[in-house]
Amino acid sequence: MRVCVIGLGEIGIPTATYISKKEFTVWGYDISSEVISQSKPFSCTNNWNTIPHKKIEVYIICVWTGIHHHKPDISSVYDVAKKIKSTMNKKPLVSIESTVSIGTCRKIYEEIFNQSVDLVNVPHRYWKMNPLKYGVNQRRVIGGINKESLERGLSFYKRLDIPLHSVSTIEISEMSKIAENAYRFLSIAFAEELKMACCEKKIDFNELRSAINTKWNTHILEAREGISGHCLPKDTKYYTSIFTHSEILKTAIVVDNNYSRLFIKKTV
């Protein structure tokens, strides 16, 4: 089977490498010539037309998504969906693994693909500090645009030995990705809030945390140097930009900003 992985960044390279080790023939595509020039264990190109599209059965989208003017920027996913549509053969399986906002997959399926592909959403939970345990083949959520897509997606990922939790709609998988990171953002922000309160009352935060965490249903997280990385802050902003009434997450963002300022002041 031939697979094309699109977007060869932090997620795309380990994904394509993993699939190529499963003895699938992998083609990688990225718009950046710098990315293409680095050596990889699979063929890659930044010339879309050199990919043997007639033979590609599965496209995996791992391109960048971000924030622009405080709103989700999914433009690169739309861009590659248009490219796939213009050259695809028969009815490929398209898996959107990039983080997208809720409703994106259905919009792309209707407006770009005109329902002519099987489409699934399998967002990543990648953690670069431990890619063996929390990399490409950790348990992930899968949602399909319809029953046939879900079945085809499940069978493809089964061949890759990637354990999946399937959900009944593609919107649930899109939202699960954003909500799981927003939840983590909130939990860390609470630990930061508590640490700032401890500072005010001259209480040892670590000792307080250990004491609280002896309770059977409570787990206060650590408060380190502020919430960094791109996934947690970005996915939380995706959530607040969609659900504009979500005061709890907006407040968590303020708490983290205050904590980070305090932390930087302390380290200086």
Residues of the shown chain interacting with ligand NAD in the complex, contacts defined by CB under 6 A: 6-12, 30-32, 35, 62-65, 76, 79-80, 98-99, 124, 126, 128, 231
Least distance in angstroms from the C-beta of 136 to ligand NAD:
11
Nearer to ligand NAD, 96 or 249 (CB): 96
Smaller CB separation from ligand NAD, 31 or 208 = 31
Secondary structure of the chain: what % helix, strand, coil (to 5)? Answer: 50, 15, 35
Decide whether 177 or 195 has the Cβ nearer to ligand NAD: 177
Compare residues 66 and 257 and give the one whose CB is closer to ligand NAD: 66
Minimum CB–partner distance for residue 14 and ligand NAD (Å): 9
Residue 231 C-beta: closest distance to ligand NAD, Å: 5
| CB neighbour list of residue 247: distance below 8 Å, 6 or more residues apart | none
Residue with tokens 């990922």: 157
Considering the complex, state which of residue 47 and residue 214 has its C-beta at the smaller distance from ligand NAD.
47
Strand-pair partners of 27: 4, 43
What burial letters (b/e) apply to 110-144, b meaning 16+ CB within 10 Å? eebbeeebbbbbbbbebeeeeeeeebbbbebbbbb
Output the smallest distance, CB 69 to ligand NAD, in A: 18
Q: Between 8 and 60, name the residue whose CB sits nearer to ligand NAD.
A: 8
Identity of the amino acid at 242? I
- As given in the structure block, the two tokens for residue 208 are 């307080």
Answer for the pair 26, 3: CB distance below 8 angstroms, yes or no: yes
Asked if 31 and 46 touch (Cβ cutoff 8 Å), the reply is yes
Tell me whether residue 98 or residue 149 sits nearer to ligand NAD (CB atom): 98
Neighbouring residues of 31: CB distance < 8 A, sequence distance ≥ 6: 46
* Shortest spacing between CB 120 and ligand NAD, in angstroms: 15
Identify the CA nearest to 236 among candidates 192, 181, 189: 181
Shortest reach from residue 255's CB to ligand NAD, in Å: 23
Shortest reach from residue 30's CB to ligand NAD, in Å: 5
- What distance separates the 2 farthest-apart alpha carbons in the chain? 67
Residue nearest to ligand NAD (CB): 9
As a whole number of Å, the end-to-end CA separation of the chain is 55
